[in-house]
């Protein structure tokens, strides 16, 4: 069970930049309207704590709550201009799609080697992501064909799966490959995702530390933490 952003592809930084662009514009406008000081979105602390690995609406809501801001929920199809939870989430997604189109997507080569080794060993492989753009990112990175199953934001909405740290998406991935969770390993870089793997009683949870949060990944339930999946090729 492989997470996408930050594990397979170098899109976590693109998501981070999109969140910051969206939230900073919103917070700056709100500061002008209310007279409150403008405190920008922290691309490290705020991203890791409130939005990384979560569905857009959950991440939006979580960060706003951290600032004591309450907005109407709105609906999934709210326009990006709407000052609602879903509107801000759609605004972030619009920025993300623009950045992916302009900058492209690069996979982590160590992860690609590892997934290919798993394929060659006859192991089942699923990608599990809260992103509704998962398929587009896989195609852009040239790795869509490495996975047999895909549980993403589109599937989560259709099947009413709760977002990470709830284990629903990973459990759906295990069902898709017809294996019990105890026979599956989860590969995650987000704290919420690692917690989801542990909550689902998966056989092994691998934390991928791209940003210097080894201790936090272990505290959230990772059995082992590596800098890159390529490092696992060197494990005994």
Nearest Cα neighbor of 133 from 98, 170, 82, 172 is 98
Q: Is there a catalytic annotation at residue 5?
A: yes
Per-residue pLDDT of the chain (236 residues; tens, 9 = 90+): 999 999 999 987 788 889 999 999 999 999 999 999 999 999 989 998 999 878 899 999 999 999 999 999 999 999 999 999 999 999 999 999 898 888 878 999 999 999 999 999 999 999 999 888 899 899 989 999 999 999 999 999 999 999 999 999 999 999 999 999 999 999 999 999 999 999 999 999 999 999 899 999 999 999 999 999 999 975 54
* Cα three-residue angle 176-206-191, rounded to 5 degrees: 95
Q: Is there a catalytic annotation at residue 189?
A: no
Choosing from 5, 16, 152, 168, the catalytic residue is 5
Q: Write the DSSP string, 100-113.
A: HHHH---B-HHHHH
Beta strands in 40-173 (DSSP E): 126-128, 149-151
Q: Which homologous superfamily does the CATH classification assign to the domain defined by 109-234?
A: HAD superfamily/HAD-like (3.40.50.1000)
Question: Which of left, alpha, beta for 151 (phi over 0: left; psi -120 to 50: alpha)?
Answer: beta
- Show me where the domains of the chain are located: 12-103, 109-234
What's the pTM?
A: 0.76
């Amino acid at each position: 069970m492989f997470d996408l952003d930050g594990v397979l592809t170098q899109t976590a930084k693109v998501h981070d930049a999109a969140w910051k662009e969206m939230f900073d514009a919103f917070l700056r406008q709100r500061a002008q309207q209310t007279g409150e000081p403008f405190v920008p979105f922290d691309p490290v602390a705020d991203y890791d704590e409130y939005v990384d690995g979560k569905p857009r609406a959950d991440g939006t809501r979580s960060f706003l709550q951290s600032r004591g801001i309450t907005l109407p929920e709105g609906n999934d199809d709210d326009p990006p201009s709407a000052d609602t939870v879903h509107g801000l989430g759609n605004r972030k997604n619009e920025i993300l799609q623009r950045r992916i189109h302009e900058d492209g997507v690069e996979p982590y080569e160590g992860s690609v080697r590892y997934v290919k080794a798993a394929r060659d060993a006859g192991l089942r492989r699923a990608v599990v992501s809260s992103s509704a753009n998962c398929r587009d990112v896989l195609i852009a990175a040239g790795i869509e064909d490495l996975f047999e199953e895909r549980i993403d934001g589109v599937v989560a909405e259709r099947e009413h799966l709760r977002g990470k740290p709830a284990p629903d998406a990973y459990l759906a991935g295990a069902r898709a490959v017809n294996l019990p969770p105890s026979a599956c390993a989860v590969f995650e870089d987000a704290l919420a995702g690692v917690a989801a793997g542990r909550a689902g009683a998966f056989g092994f949870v691998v934390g991928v530390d791209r940003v210097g949060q080894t201790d936090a990944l272990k505290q959230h339930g990772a059995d082992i933490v590596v800098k890159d999946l390529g490092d696992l090729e060197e494990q005994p």
